[in-house]
Amino acid sequence: MTEHPVIEPETTEQEALTETVLEKPEEPEKAPVNSSVKKQKPRRKHKKKNYPLRIIVVVAIIAAAFVCAHLSCFNVDGIAVIGNEGVADQEIIELSEIEMGKSVFDVHPLLAQHKIKKNLYIEKVNVNRKLPNKVEIIVTERSLLAQFHKDGKFVITDSKGMVLDISKEEHKATTIEGVTVTDAEKKETIKIKENQGLEKTLELINATNESDLYFKRIVFNGGKVDAYVYDELKCSGKYNNLISAINSGTLKKVIYDLYQKGVEKGTVNVYNNDYCFFTPN
């Protein structure tokens, strides 16, 4: 019996490739990465700070600035005082203690202002350096409203009744008579015996200032008031009538008319409804 040879089927190229892939060993599974674990960054090397050198540089800068600030070109050679009328320039400069010839950078504005305000006549002050070698002092004086008699002296007050000075010398301010001063101390409000005496005085003088009027002397006599424009020319009437005529401007017109005519004697009688009638002496 004839044996027939066994013919194996031919392996195609695709099947051979498939077998090769199947025969490839499996790769081991990678361990899961823990996302919470962060990679540590390499530490930076800190350079050593050279503190001694820095200190030397700072000291050198300060020393150079000090030397420059005290060059002769910065020495004060002029002090200007602005805004003062009653207080003399020299008095303000002396109060400031600013010295000519010293460096302008040695002037301390706030300290100088504090010293100048020791003078109660000065309400506000501003000190400015004007480079390279000037200093400017700007002042605002308190308005001198009234002076009262007490123990043979004059008590000077401002618009709020604060005592600015107690002097034997008369000042350029309206003299108040007919009221009794019971107490007067610098920086304190003056005390008047008469009921509403201070209130009426300040109201009357403030009204005259606002109306651009000036009385040399005001005499209170009960409910009547005599306000002297000159030594022999006065405005006379009840307190309320006088205040009303001042505030309305009527009294100012009458006084100005008399001034233009050269009248310096007589009495301007002030009645209700701002009615004014002049009688010559």
For 216-225, what is each residue's pLDDT tens digit?
999 999 889 9
pLDDT in tens, 67-79: 665 657 889 999 9
Residue 85 vs residue 235, higher pLDDT: 235
Inform me whether the pLDDT recorded for 22 exceeds 50: no
Task: Please give the DSSP secondary-structure letter assigned to residue 75.
Answer: B
What are the residues facing 165 on neighbouring strands?
156
pLDDT > 50? residue 158: yes
249 within a domain of the structure (yes/no):
yes
DSSP 159: T
Residue 11 included in any domain:
no
How high is the mean pLDDT of the chain?
A: 84
Instruction: Among 96, 111, 141, give the residue marking a domain's end.
Output: 141
Q: Which spans in the chain are helix H?
A: 13-23, 51-69, 89-96, 109-116, 197-210, 239-248, 250-260
Q: Could you give the 3-state DSSP secondary structure of residue 73?
A: helix
Distance of CA 86 to the CA centre of its chain: 22
Q: Is residue 116 part of a domain?
A: yes
Task: Determine, yes or no, domain membership for 177.
Answer: no
Domain containing 232 equals 211-281
pLDDT, mean of residues 86-100: 94
User: Of 124, 141, 158, at which residue does a domain stop?
Assistant: 141
Domain membership flag for residue 18: no
Which pLDDT score, from 0 to 100, does residue 40 have? 59
Tokens of 174: 């309206």
d(CA 92, CA 112): 10
Number of domains into which the chain is organized: 2
- 176 within a domain of the structure (yes/no): no
Q: Which of 141, 167, 192 is the last residue of a domain?
A: 141
Q: Which CATH number goes with the domain that contains 124? A: 3.10.20.310
Query: Does the structure show a pLDDT above 80 at 131?
Result: yes
> Does 44 fall in a domain?
no
55 pLDDT band, cuts 50/70/90, is confident
- Whether 66 maps to a domain, the answer reads no
